[in-house]
Structure 1
Amino acid sequence: MSDREALADLVAEYARCVDRGDPEGVAACFAPDGVLRIVNLARGGELIGERKGREQITRAISRMPYHPTFHFLGQQQVEVNGDTATGETYCIAHHLTVPDDASAAHDYIMYIRYQDHFARLDEGWRFAARELHIDWTETRPVENS
């Protein structure tokens, strides 16, 4: 498998683990000291959150208030330089919210670009740092949830 294929597989595994509600699987996509940041570009680059290390990442993913999620990955560009790489992946991420009071469910949609720094470890390629850049969002009603 080429480095580019392995990096695309890592990005897809991250999305699959988020969508399956597997916080440990998400964290395993990161280097032990990896960093996950969320930046809202629609609000002037506001840093919404930062988690460092697999334990913090696991905790953050396990507390997401949405279930289920649905990440649809788009184009990806990566540049490999030995045992490090950088990349950008486009994504449309759907987040379903079903209120406890039986009111209408809604889909919070994020149009995002992941800015990634990768490191090749003994266990394979992992995220050294992943920044989720939110370009814009929208909320839609959901008819069948």
Structure 2
Amino acid sequence: MSALTVEDRLLLTDLVHRYAVLVDGWDAAGVAGLFLEDGVLVSPDPPQTLDPVVEHRGRAGVERAIAPITTLGTSVHAITGTVLDVGEAPGTARGRVTCSAHHLTRRGDTWHDVTWVVRYRDDYRRTDEAWRFARRSASLSFLESRTVRAVREGPAFG
């Protein structure tokens, strides 16, 4: 196995950050396009479990999984760490990514921020076009809820 090139690292970092930006932009189809045709997104089911337990298969499944983001007032995903390693097969890589995901909703006149501290385990595959997610598995370290004073509503980067 050879090491990841600097270019591969930059492209994989862009993929990870593009995922966050597209989620915050409420672009579920765009997020799904970052996955291989047969890619898998595995999500937790909070507050019942913080472990990755719900599988969403294929781009259509990923799109359905991301679509509920539009029911929020807004969201902000902040990547806090990324570690990338060469995969077991040529043209593959693995990643460990940490993220704080703020999900803002209004209850009456009060805005609430439910923050998920997420740890992603990623498997990536290089295609002729770009690096894509083969599998992205999200577990939560913890959930936090608090009120906030003001919110700019709607999709970010929209």
The alpha-carbon deviation at position 39 of structure 1 amounts to 3.2
1:35-74 correspondence runs (5 A): 35-39=40-44, 46-64=51-69, 65-74=71-80
Please tell me whether residue 26 in structure 1 is matched to residue 44 in structure 2: no
Structure 1 residues 140, 11: closer, same or farther in 2, change over 3 A?
Answer: same
CA distance in 2, matches of 1:92, 1:128: 22
Structure 1 residues 27, 44: closer, same or farther in 2, change over 3 A?
Answer: closer
Question: TM-score with structure 1 length normalisation?
Answer: 0.89
**% same residue:** 36
Please tell me whether residue 118 in structure 1 is matched to residue 131 in structure 2: no
Question: TM-score with structure 2 length normalisation?
Answer: 0.82
Question: Which ranges of 4 or more aligned residues in structure 1 deviate by more than 6 Å?
Answer: 40-44
8 Å CA contact 2:125, 2:131 repeated in 1:
yes
Structure 1 residues 108, 77: closer, same or farther in 2, change over 3 A?
Answer: same
Provide the secondary structure at the position in 1 that maps to 2:110.
Answer: coil
Residue number in structure 2 paired with 1:11: 16
The alpha-carbon deviation at position 38 of structure 1 amounts to 1.3
The alpha-carbon deviation at position 44 of structure 1 amounts to 6.4
Report the residue type matching 1:59 in the other structure.
Answer: R
Note the alpha carbon deviations across 1:100-127, whole angstroms, 9 max, x for none. Answer: xx33110000111110000111221000
User: For structure 1, which segment, 9-18 or 33-42, has the greater mean C-alpha deviation from structure 2 after superposition?
Assistant: 33-42
Residue number in structure 2 paired with 1:90: 98
The alpha-carbon deviation at position 72 of structure 1 amounts to 0.6
CA distance in 1, matches of 2:54, 2:91: 27
Provide the secondary structure at the position in 2 that maps to 1:21.
Answer: coil
Residue number in structure 2 paired with 1:132: 138
Report the residue type matching 2:104 in the other structure.
Answer: L
Structure 1 unaligned segments of length 5 or more: list them. none
Please tell me whether residue 76 in structure 1 is matched to residue 82 in structure 2: yes
CA distance in 1, matches of 2:149, 2:104: 11
Provide the secondary structure at the position in 2 that maps to 1:98.
Answer: strand
Alpha carbon RMSD of aligned pairs, Å?
2.0
